[in-house]
């Protein structure tokens, strides 16, 4: 019998991360997920018990990421697919109305979070010699808009971080910056308000995204990609 493949999903308590869980479970994957909301994490653990596992983890805290990744490696070995999905967006405002603390916070979560996940998981994945890491970028990692300069800065950084790390791995582990499209989630509502309702919801998106992610491999290393139709 084939051993279950493992997918790691950061930010699985809401939005896109949460919507992907049941689809991976239905495909026979083991899911390892994290988020900051401990109540929601406990609820996910009750709904999907072992071999799945869910852990409170703030990806901006290296010690949290180290503990989460150590638990993954101990329980499941090197993961097959890592979805660095967790992120925040700044409240709509021009840069000069964004405090230094808020700017640091978005950098810490959106850039340092995926970097920490890769730092703690890539050595084991490279040693095994396979796997895919998808770093969630955005349309706003490839073009800009008013009122979201801090978020744009982090998503442009995700593109560069992913493509340069892909050069480091040489494709032994594929590292891919991924624009998920535009989807009606808490994050989109923060930026678009009620207009977010005109976009597909997270469950609809996950039905297209999960089969797409499962097919990614070494040929995709370092290529900026987009979940189409979103
Ligand atoms: N929705 C869109 O249209 C859209 C468009 C382009 C790109 N994206 C990207 O897609 C990804 C998912 O977005 P979404 O719309 O699903 O956002 P969302 O609905 O706001 O959900 C974000 C998730 O990230 C988690 N999270 C936030 N900060 C975290 C931290 N410090 N540590 C761990 N988990 C954290 C949240 O859980 P907790 O609060 O429990 O921590 C939540 O589960 C993001 O990378 C986003 O930039 C989304």
Domain presence at residue 41: yes
For residue 1, the model assigns a pLDDT of 47
3-state secondary structure 18-58: HHHHHHHHHCCCEEEEEECCHHHHHHHHHHCCCCCEEEECC
Q: Is the pLDDT of residue 160 over 90?
A: yes
> How far, in whole angstroms, is CA 192 from its chain's centroid?
21
Domain count, the chain: 1
Question: Could you tell me which residues come within 8 angstroms of residue 169 by beta carbon, excluding any fewer than 6 positions away?
Answer: 122, 126, 175, 221
Average pLDDT over residues 102-124: 98
Average pLDDT over residues 126-154: 98
Domain presence at residue 36: yes
Domain presence at residue 217: yes
Average pLDDT over residues 134-155: 98
Q: Is the pLDDT of residue 97 over 80?
A: yes
Residues in the ligand 1 pocket, defined by CB under 6 Å: 10-17, 34-37, 40, 57-60, 85-88, 109, 136, 138, 180, 182-183, 185-188
What pTM was computed for the model? 0.98
Domain that holds residue 96: 6-226
Domain presence at residue 1: no
* CATH code (residue 100): 3.40.50.720
């Amino acid at each position: 019998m084939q051993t279950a493949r493992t997918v790691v999903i950061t930010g699985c308590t809401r939005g896109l991360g949460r919507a992907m869980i049941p689809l991976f479970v239905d495909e026979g994957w083991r899911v390892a997920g994290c988020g900051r909301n401990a109540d929601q994490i406990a609820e996910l653990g009750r709904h999907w018990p072992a071999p799945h596992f869910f852990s409170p983890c703030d990806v901006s805290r290296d010690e949290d990421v180290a503990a989460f990744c150590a638990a993954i490696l101990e329980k499941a070995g090197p993961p097959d697919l890592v979805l660095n999905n967790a992120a925040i967006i700044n409240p709509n405002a021009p840069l000069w109305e964004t405090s230094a603390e808020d700017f640091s916070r978005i950098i810490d979560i959106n850039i340092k979070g995926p970097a920490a996940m890769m730092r703690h998981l890539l050595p084991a994945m490279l040693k095994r010699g396979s796997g895919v890491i998808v770093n969630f970028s955005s349309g706003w990692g490839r073009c800009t808009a008013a009122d979201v300069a801090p978020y744009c800065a982090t998503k442009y950084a995700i593109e560069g971080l992913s493509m340069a790390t892909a050069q480091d791995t040489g494709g032994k582990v594929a590292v891919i910056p991924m624009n998920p499209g535009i989807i009606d989630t808490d994050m989109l509502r923060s930026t678009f308000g009620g207009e977010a309702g005109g976009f597909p919801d997270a469950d609809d998106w996950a039905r297209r995204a999960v089969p797409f992610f499962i097919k990614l491999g070494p040929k995709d290393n370092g290529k900026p990609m987009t979940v189409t139709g979103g």
